[in-house]
Amino acid sequence: MNELTLPGFAEVLAAAARIASHATVTPVLRSRELDALAGASLHFKAEHLQRSGAFKFRGACNAVWSLDAMQALNGVVTHSSGNHGAALALAARSRGIPCHVVVPEGAVAAKLANIARHGAQLWRCAPTQVAREAECERIRQQTGAELVHPYADARVIAGQGTATMELIRQAGATLDVLVVPVGGGGLAGGSLLAMQALLPDCELILAEPAGAADTARSLAADRRQVDFVPDTVCDGLRGALGAPNFALLRSHAQVITVDDADTVAAMRLIWQVMKQTVEPSSAITLAAVLAQPQRFAGRTVGLLLSGGNVDLDALPWSMA
């Protein structure tokens, strides 16, 4: 599939129907204590409770089950630092087809174990975007597998949009603002499609690590600026903003950049107060709200908790 193909809300609806028998309808969590701290009504979409431990299963499942029989025959291939790889492996296993995942050196050990546990074949490469894409293409040509890009794929973007569609329908109140983590932009782009169709007056805010703030730079300049070396504890948000994702998000979203220390503090707060095991890439949404409380005061806020695949032997507050 051409990675510049842009999905619409019709594709999100189709994805919801396609993955209904495979994906979990995750709950929306509330916390009186965090509401009081933020001065806002917070609705947390618990995608860390999704199959494979992250929202990524939605897009991966939609992509895998979108393939016709001939496309699926040789399996699927992707590059991933963790959550998308695990999600694609699980989705491929649900259809009984091979899965190849290119992983960069230095990826979180717990996430690599998650990928392997779901039956994918791992391929190592240097920790650069160029190396990941080159190795992915080599394997695609060698095996004939279908490429399922982690975020710059219309099937993936549409699948990710089902999380926000569920959140809007579950919240039981009209959301004033939606806060979504952003890395490559798959979840952000899909969320925008659902929000524009179901809640057009809602404001979309993207939470991005200060050490990987290419989306903030790109939206400010109105052109992609993705030549950077990420430096953030949010390993799931180190990817560069994809071209179709930028095309969807430009002029429709604002970005709050968050320091890692604030994200880790928010992660610990969610563990302590809500008793939920989330990773830094999830906690950044709460960190963004707490970083600019005046922006959210008195408002009803949806927050995407994107995943919970944490290396329990390397918790960020223990490493500090």
pLDDT at 4: 63
Nearest to 206 by CA among 84, 62, 316, 302: 302
Give the domain 57-147 fold.
Answer: Rossmann fold (3.40.50)
Closest CA to 288 of 218, 216, 220: 216
Global pTM value: 0.94
Reported as a single tens digit per residue, the pLDDT across 108-153 is 777 788 899 999 999 999 887 789 889 999 999 999 999 999 999 9
Chain segment 241-251, per-residue pLDDT in tens: 999 999 999 99
Q: Is the pLDDT of residue 180 over 90?
A: yes
pLDDT at 127: 82
Cα distances (Å, whole numbers) of residue 166 to 44, 45, 47, 153, 304: 12, 9, 11, 21, 11
Residue 2 reports pLDDT greater than 50? no
Decide if pLDDT at 33 tops 70: yes
Higher pLDDT, 320 or 256: 256
What is the predicted pLDDT for the residue at 105? Answer: 86
Which strands, in side-by-side order, build the sheet including 121-125?
A: 121-125, 99-104, 76-79, 146-147
For a pLDDT cut of 70, what percent of the chain falls above it? 98
**Average pLDDT over all residues of the chain:** 94
- The neighbour count for residue 137, using CB atoms within 10 Å, is 14
How big is the chain, counted in residues? 320
The answer to whether the beta carbons of residues 309 and 53 sit under 8 Å apart is yes
Residue 30's SS3 state is: coil
Architecture of the domain whose range is 9-54+153-319: 3-Layer(aba) Sandwich (3.40)
Q: Are 213 and 241 in contact (CB under 8 A)?
A: no
Of 286 and 236, more confident: 286
Smallest CA-to-CA distance from 9 within 277, 191, 220 is with: 191
- Residue 237: count other Cβ atoms within 10 Å of its Cβ: 27
CA trace torsion 221, 191, 128, 218 (10° rounding)? 0
pLDDT of residue 320: 54
309 versus 13: the higher-pLDDT residue is 13
CATH 3.40.50.1100 in the chain is located at: 9-54+153-319, 57-147
Closest CA to 120 of 143, 72, 95, 88: 88
Of the pLDDT bands very low, low, confident and very high (cuts 50, 70, 90), residue 1 is very low
* 9 pLDDT more than 80: yes
Ranges 192-196, 232-236, 254-258, 302-306: which has the least confidence: 232-236
Average pLDDT of the segment spanning 284-291: 98
Give residue-wise pLDDT tens across range 68-97: 999 999 999 999 878 899 999 999 999 999
Q: Is the pLDDT of residue 3 over 70?
A: no
Q: Using 50, 70 and 90 to split pLDDT, how confident is the model at 160?
A: very high
pLDDT over threshold 90, residue 235? no
